[in-house]
Structures are given as C-alpha cells and as structure tokens.
Structure 1
Amino acid sequence: DGLLPGLAEEGNPLEGVDRKLLHPALAKLLKDPSGRTRGGAAYAFTHFTREDLAAMAQEVYDAITKPAPHYR
C-alpha cells in the first residue's frame, strides 16, 4: 500500500494512485521555496489526465507565474 501502489514500466505510473492524496501532495511541492523541489512535481504533469489538470489548474498556474524564491 501507500501513495504509489507500484511503478509501472509502461503506461501511466499515476494510474491507480488516489487523487485525494496525490493532488494535495503535489500542491505542497509546488509551493516549496526550492526550485528543485517544485521541479520534482513537474514529473507528474507529464502523466496527468485532463481531469487532473483541471483539478490543479490554479496550483499549476501559480507555480508557473510565481518563481521559486530559492531559484534565483
């Protein structure tokens, strides 16, 4: 058990992941002052569905428009 039930070798590694846990976890990463930490959340975006993106649109927008303070 856990957030990631298993890493898929093929297909979407986010398939089967509880979105009620995933979205808040990614939102927290996107607010981190470290650009490296924020970048780690970007991996998930490559596997997002339209529904995922719609659910996190504001968090994604904020992360893009407000640079990480420790990135400069």
Structure 2
Amino acid sequence: MTTVELETEHGDARAVARAVAPDNTDEMETVVEDGNVVTRIERDDVASAGATADDYLRNLIVADELSDAL
C-alpha cells in the first residue's frame, strides 16, 4: 500500500476542501487541519498513487483559483 499526503495553504481552505472533496474516491480523504487543506491518498502501488495525486492537484489548482475569484 502506498500513501500520499498533500498539505496546502489557501486563502479559504474550507471552500477549497469542499470544492475538491466530491471528486475523492474511496481511497481518498480531504480535511481542513490547522487552516490547511490536507488530502490523504492510499493506493496499491506508487504509479496509481502518483496518477491520483496528479489528478487531484489539477482539481486543487482550479478550486484555489475559483475561491480567490469570489
């Protein structure tokens, strides 16, 4: 099992977490901890964990840009 944990800072962490959470799979969890968005990804192998993290980061960028625009 491979685990990836991503922690990012945002102007409105709760809004960003709410925006990306619907795209989470059963092997993902997104929460707000200490004012940051934290997402944990668990996959069977490194390649699929990396692919999932890449997809998630693309969604995160869009959510962050949209939350800044509001």
TM-score by structure 2 length? 0.31
Q: Structure 1 or 2: larger helix share? A: 1
Q: Structure 1 or 2: larger strand share? A: 2
Larger radius of gyration: 1
Report 1 or 2 for greater relative contact order, CA contacts < 8 Å, sequence distance ≥ 6: 2
